[in-house]
Amino acid sequence: MAKPRVALFVTCLVDLYRPSVGFAAIRLLEEAGCEVVVPDAQTCCGQPAFNGGDRASAREIARQVIDTFLPYDHVVAPSGSCGGMIAQHYPSLFAESDPLYRGKAEALAAKTHELVSFLTDVMGVERVKARYEGNVTYHDSCAGLRELGVKRQPRRLLDTVEGLQVTEMAEPEICCGFGGTFCVKYPEISTRMVADKTQDIEQTGADTLLAGDMGCLLNMAGRLRREGSAVHVRHVAEVLADMAGEVPPIGEVR
C-alpha cells in the first residue's frame, strides 16, 4: 500500500522563529508512515490580511496556497490557526467572486488538518516513542479547539510519553490574549488576558507549558519571561517527536 503523500504547511511563525517545530512535524509524520513533502512555493496562509478585512489580498494569497497544496493527499500544519484558516475560511473567500476557486478551496479544506489531530484521527497513531522528564500543562489554542476540534488528541499522545505528567490548568481553554491582530489593536486587554493565563499556568505547579500554536506560545513565553517565571515553553510537537533535548525552550538561550 502506497504511503499517503502529505504536504507540510510549515507556517510563517515556525519558519521564522521555531524551525525545530517543522522538523519535529516531519519526524512524526514519517514515523506515522507518511511521505512528507515541503513545497517550496508555499507562502503565508493569508490570515493576517483576512483578519484585517483585506479580502482581496487574502484571496490572492489563498489562490497561491491552493494551487501549491491541492495536488497532495493531505495538508498538515503544526498550527490550529493556519489549519483553521485553510479548512474553515478559504471556501468563504470565493463564495461569490470565483466559483472555480471556491470548488478548489473546498477540496483543499476537506484534506487540511492540524498536525496532532491528523496523527491520531487520520493515521491512527496511538502512542509515540518519546521521553520527557517533567510536569507539563497544556494550553488549548482558540483556533485549534474551536475551529478544528483539537482537544483530546494531544493529551492522548502526551499520556504515552515516558516520564511526563500532565497537570491541567483551571481554565485551559481560555484565550491567551494573542489573537493575531487582536493583541495589536487592543494591547491593554491582551496584556490582561495573558497575565491571567500565566497565573493559571503558574498555579498548576508545572515546569513546562505546551501548546500547538506558535502565536500563543510566543505570547505566553514572553509574558512568563517578563514575570521572571521558571516555566519552560515548548511546542507539543517537539516533545512528541522526542526532540526537546535538541533545542532550548521557546524564549530561552543555551
Q: Which residues have CB under 8 Å from 116's CB, separation 6+?
A: 150, 153, 154, 157, 212, 236, 237, 240
Q: Give the tens place of pLDDT for each residue, 162-172.
A: 999 999 999 99
Look at the pTM and tell me if it is higher than 0.75: yes
- Please state the separation of Cα 98 from the chain's center in Å: 29
Which architecture characterizes domain 5-121 according to CATH?
A: 3-Layer(aba) Sandwich (3.40)
Domain boundaries defined on the chain: 5-121, 126-240
* pLDDT of amino acid 15: 97
Distances (CA, A) of 183 to 63, 75, 96, 114: 28, 28, 31, 23
Distances (CA, A) of 87 to 9, 34, 140, 208: 12, 21, 18, 30
User: CA 91 to CA 70: how far, in whole Å?
Assistant: 14
Distances (CA, A) of 50 to 30, 181, 234: 32, 10, 27
What the block records as the C-alpha cell of 144 is 485549534
Mean pLDDT of 104-123: 98
Q: Give the tens place of pLDDT for each residue, 40-73.
A: 999 999 999 999 999 999 999 999 999 999 999 9
Q: Give the tens place of pLDDT for each residue, 2-17.
A: 899 999 999 999 999 9
Class of domain 126-240: alpha beta
Q: Give the tens place of pLDDT for each residue, 75-88.
A: 999 999 999 999 99
